[in-house]
Amino acid sequence: MTYNGENIYIRFIGKDDTEDLLALTQRNRTHFEQVSPKRDESYYSQDFHEKMIEGWIKQREEDKRYVFGIFLKESDQLIGDISIFDIKRGPVQNCTLGYGLDQEHNGKGYMTEAIQLLLTFAFEEAKLQRVEAGVMPRNIGSIRVLEKAGFQREGLARKLLEINGTREDHVIFAMLAEDMKI
C-alpha cells in the first residue's frame, strides 16, 4: 500500500528495506538518541533490524502497529519512518503517532507531508477516530510539524517517557478524524 504526496511517498516497511533502514538508523544515531528511549548496542545491528521488521509485519497483520517508510519520490531513497501504534479498538478507536526523519532532510516539509499521508491511512483505511502524538517541549521542530499538520495541543503529560535515562515531559497533541480535511 503506497500513499503519494508531492515530494515523498510512504509505504509499509518490508524485509527488503532492512539494509536501508539500518543505514538510516546508524547515520542518524546521535540525532535520534536525543529524542528516543535508550537503545542497547544490539539495536544498531542487521540482525536486530531484520527481527524488528518481522515484528512490524506481524503487528500489522494483527492490527496493532503500522510502520511506513518515507521515501523521496525523485530517488526512492528511504529518508525516514512514520507509524501508528498502541492501537485501541472498540469504543476508543485511538492510536499513537511516531516518526523519525534523516536529519539531512529536516526543514523541507517532508515530515508534514508524511503525516498528512499517514492520517489519510489512519482515518480512511484503519478507520480510527483519534491520533495522538507526544513531543518533548524542547523539540520545537517536531511541535511545528504537528501544528502544521493540523494537530491540536491538548496538554502536558509530566514525565511521560524515559529518554536517554531521564524521565521527560511531553506535550500531547491530537488529531480527530473530523478535524482532517480529506
CATH number of the structural domain 2-179? 3.40.630.30
Q: Do 174 and 152 form a contact (C-beta atoms < 8 A)?
A: yes
What is the per-residue pLDDT across 53-72, written as a single tens digit (0 to 9) for each? 999 999 999 999 999 999 99
pLDDT at site 181: 63
| CA pseudo-torsion sign 85, 86, 91, 92 | negative
Give the contacts of 126 (CB within 8 A, at least 6 positions apart). 63, 66, 84, 87, 95
Predicted structure pTM score: 0.93
Which pLDDT tens digit goes with each residue over 140-175?
999 999 999 999 999 999 999 998 889 999 999 999
pLDDT at 30: 83
Q: Please answer whether residues 66 and 126 qualify as being in contact, where contact means their C-beta atoms are separated by less than 8 angstroms.
A: yes
The stretches of the chain forming alpha helices (DSSP H) are 18-27, 29-33, 46-61, 110-120, 140-148
Compute φ and ψ for 91, nearest 5 degrees. -70, -15
Per-residue pLDDT tens over the stretch 19-56: 999 999 999 888 888 778 888 888 889 999 999 999 99
pLDDT at 182 over 50: no
